[in-house]
Amino acid sequence: MSRKRIAGEIAKNHAKLLRKKMTGTEQKLWGLLRNRRLKNEKFRRQYPIGSYIVDFYHAGQNLVIELDGESHNERGPQDIKRQQWLEAEGYRILRISNDDVIKEEENVLFAILKALGKPLPQ
């Protein structure tokens, strides 16, 4: 088995674990996105891409949604490296703060719709 394939299998198994242990903010956003609740758009959660696992992913638009909370404060260089790799592979990244998910739910949904190129509700 190749290294790349092993890394993919490890990421896949880790993603399953992360789906069971989502943070409260991830659960809240997932509640708004799951089952095509946002304009019938399909999202996946804790989705493996290469050796990375992204918080949310829209395959049709190659859009990655990353929630940034306190855990990201210490991971700046790792997050930059990861984002550069994802962008080099053709993914677009939308970063949303945990505080915005909690306090600005409507604006978060508008930002996601805008990133998808969808019309915003009037």
CB distance 32 to 39 below 8 Å: no
What is the average pLDDT across 95-113? Answer: 96
DSSP collapsed to 3 states, 20-78: HCCCHHHHHHHHHHHHHCCCCCCCEEEEEECCEEEEEEEHHHCEEEEEECHHHCCCHHH
29 pLDDT band (50/70/90 cuts)?
Answer: very high
The mean per-residue pLDDT over the stretch 91-118 comes to 96
pLDDT digits (tens, 9 = 90+) for 43-81: 999 999 988 999 999 999 999 999 997 654 556 788 889
Work out the percent of the chain whose per-residue pLDDT is above 90.
Answer: 66
Which pLDDT score, from 0 to 100, does residue 77 have?
84
Q: Which CATH superfamily is domain 3-115 in?
A: VSR Endonuclease (3.40.960.10)
